[in-house]
Amino acid sequence: MGVDRYGRDVETTGDEPRLDREHVDRHSALVTSPAGRAVVIVAMIVGAVWLVGPNIPRGELQSDLDGLWRPATKMGLLQDWGVFSPNPRSESLDVQARIVHDDGTIEVWDVPDFDPVIGAYRQYRWHKWQERVRLNNREQYWRPTALWLADQYARDGVQPVSITLVRRWLDHEPVGSPAPRDSDWNEFEFYVWERDA
């Protein structure tokens, strides 16, 4: 009779290297003992409650159980997926820039398109940027955005002389309605940058 690497008693033929109970690592000893298995099971149940519980639909049940995952919230483990359905956004948002060059040409800049696989992550960041830069309380970003665009569009002696940032939106009917509320994009020019003469 011998001991395997998990600390369990096993039949041996005599050819195997002999292990003593003292040489069994702590993790293996923990998960093979009845008390250790109980600790692991309790930890798994608590982890499952902390991950699933906060994501149940808002209501009386969630309010009643709110205290159960408060420790998870304090440790930063809370995963709130409330950005998704059943409350989809009621409008589409966009930010464009109209760039007028010193030779009279006009270009329109929009958030770049990226490949649909890996590029989707970059696209998402650009869309989050659009959501924020368009807001009136984010005015500190307007001039740096225009200066960045002026730098990007300067080429072969042709310089942008003015850049107009335009917030655009398209209102949507609630899900299930037959047609959009607007048939065309609404626009509002919220910042104009002009090159110093």
Domain map (residue ranges) of the chain: 2-74, 91-194
CA-wise closest residue to 170 among 162, 178, 179, 161: 179
Closest CA to 93 of 188, 192, 163: 188
Per-residue pLDDT reduced to its tens digit, 139-182: 999 999 999 999 999 988 899 999 999 999 988 877 677 765 66
Can you read off the two tokens belonging to residue 185? 């994009």
What SS3 class is residue 78? coil
Omega cis (within 30) before 86:
yes
Q: Where are the alpha helices (DSSP H) in the chain?
A: 26-32, 34-52, 60-64, 70-74, 119-133, 142-153
Confidence at residue 81, expressed as pLDDT on a 0 to 100 scale: 58
Residue 165: Cβ-neighbour burial (10 angstroms; 0-12, 13-18, 19+): buried
Both tokens assigned to 143: 């001039």
Q: What is the mean pLDDT of residues 109-137?
A: 87
Spatial strand order of the sheet with 91-101 comes to 106-109, 91-101, 160-171, 186-194
- Weakest-pLDDT range from 1-15, 112-126, 160-174: 1-15
Across the range 175-195, mean pLDDT stands at 83
What is the number of other CB atoms lying within 10 angstroms of the CB of residue 102? 13
* Highest mean pLDDT pick, 20-29, 76-85, 104-113: 104-113
**Selection from 134, 136, 156 nearest residue 145 by Cα:** 134
Over the stretch 26-83, which tens digit does the pLDDT of each residue have? Answer: 777 777 788 888 988 999 998 888 777 777 777 777 778 778 777 777 777 666 655 5
